[in-house]
Amino acid sequence: MPSLREIQVTFQQALYRPDAAHLIAAQIVENGIPATRRLQVYRNNLLGVLGESLRAVYPVVERLVGTAFFAAAARHYVLDQPSMSGDVHDYGGDFPEFMGAFRGAAHLPYIRDVAHLEWAYHEAFHSADDPALDPHRLLNVPEDGQAAIRLELQSSARLLSSAYPVLRIWQRNQPEWAGDTHVDLALGPDRILAVRRGAAVEIWRLGSGEFAWLEALSTGQTLGAALERSLDIQHDFDLTVALRRHLAAGTFVALA
C-alpha cells in the first residue's frame, strides 16, 4: 500500500506528464468516468490557473509574441516548471530565461529582457512597503566615517540592465500608449530601477554610473567602494546629486 506522500508525488507526475497517468490510475475510483478523464480535468485547471497567472505578469511579452504563441509557450513552461509555492504570485520567475530560449522567439532578441522587466515590476509591486530612511541620519555620520557606511535599498528595489531599450519597448506596449509603437533597438542599452513607492511601482532609467553605484550598494558594499565602482564606469558621476535624488525619493531604508 503506497503512502500518502507517494500517492501525492505520483499524482503530481500524472498531472505534469500525461504519459504517466497510468501510474496513478489504480488509485482513482472511476465511478463511470475513466481515470484519464478525471486527471485531464485537474490538468486543464492546472494549465488554466498557471497560464492565466503568467498572462497577468507578462502582458507586454504576450502582446509582442501574440496570444496564440504566448499560450503555447506558457503551456510548455507550466508542464516543464511545476509550481513550488502555494502562492501563485511566486510563480513565473524563470519565464524570462525560458522565453529567451524558446523556439520561434529568436526574431525577438530582446524578449528575455522585456520579460525580466515585467518580473521586476511584479516583484516590486508585491514587495513590502518599507519606511524610507530619514536623510537627517546622515548628518550624524562623521565626515571621516562616511565612506564606510552602508545604505540598504528598499526591499522592493529591482535593478536590471539590458543591451536593448527595454523600457521604451515596455512603455510603448502599454494599453494607454497612443503613439508610434516602433522602437529603434540602437537606442539601447538600458539600465533600470524598479521600486514600489506607496501603491505604485516607479521605473527609472539610470545612467551607467548611477546604476553601478546602486548595484554595489545593493550587494552590501560601502559607500566608498560603491563610489569607486561607479567612477570606474562613469568618470563624471556625481555622488552628491545621486545621493540627494535617492534620499528624496525614499530609495534607501537604513544605513549601517
- DSSP codes of every residue in 231-249: HHH-TT--HHHHHHHHHHH
> What gap in Å lies between CA 113 and CA 165, rounded to an integer?
9
32 CB burial (10 A radius; 0-12, 13-18, 19+): exposed
Burial of 45 (0-12, 13-18, 19+ CB in 10 A): exposed
Whether pLDDT at 154 is above 60: yes
What lies within 8 Å, CB to CB, of 186 at 6+ separation is none
Is pLDDT above 70 for 38?
Answer: no
The mean pLDDT of 11-18, rounded to a whole number, is 64
Strands of 15-97, DSSP E: none
Rounded to an integer, the average pLDDT of 92-114 is: 95
Q: What is the mean pLDDT of residues 239-254?
A: 95
Kindly report, residue by residue over 223-236, the tens digit of the pLDDT. 999 999 999 999 99
How many CB atoms within 10 Å of residue 142? 7
| Lowest mean pLDDT segment, chosen from 27-41, 63-77, 145-159 | 27-41
**Distance of alpha carbon 35 from alpha carbon 49, whole angstroms:** 21
> What is d(CA 132, CA 185) in angstroms, rounded to the nearest whole number?
36
pLDDT score of 37 more than 80: no
d(CA 158, CA 193) in angstroms, rounded, equals 6
Consecutive H or E run containing 194? strand 190-197
| Residue 35, pLDDT above cutoff 70 | no
Q: Which residue type occupies 50? A: L
Strands 190-197 and 200-205: antiparallel
Distances (CA, A) of 157 to 81, 187, 204, 243, 253: 26, 24, 11, 16, 11
Give the cell for residue 179: 503613439
Burial of 198 from C-beta contacts in 10 A (0-12 / 13-18 / 19+): exposed
> Half-sphere exposure (CA, 13 Å, Cβ side) for 40?
7
**Residue at 173: amino acid letter:** N
